[in-house]
Amino acid sequence: MKKLAITLALTALCSASAVFAQDTLAGRYTGSFDFQTNAGLQKVGVTVVIDSVEDGKVKGTATLGGRACAGDYPFEGILKGESIGLRGTTKGGRAGDCSFGFKGKVEGNKLVGTYGKYELELRK
Which is nearest to 48 in space by CA: 72, 29, 23? 29
Residue 50: the pLDDT is: 98
Name the pTM for this structure.
Answer: 0.80
Residue 68: the pLDDT is: 86
105 neighbors 113 (Cβ within 8 angstroms):
yes
Look up residue 92 and give its DSSP letter: B
Kindly report, residue by residue over 21-42, the tens digit of the pLDDT: 556 899 999 999 998 888 888 8
Structural domains of the chain sorted by starting position, each given as residue range(s) with its CATH number in brackets: 2-123 (2.40.128)
Task: Give the distance between the most distant pair of CA atoms in the chain.
Answer: 69
Residue 18: the pLDDT is: 46
Q: Return the beta strands (E) in 7-94 as ranges.
A: 27-37, 40-54, 57-64, 71-80, 83-88
Phi, psi (5° rounding) for residue 13?
A: -65, -45
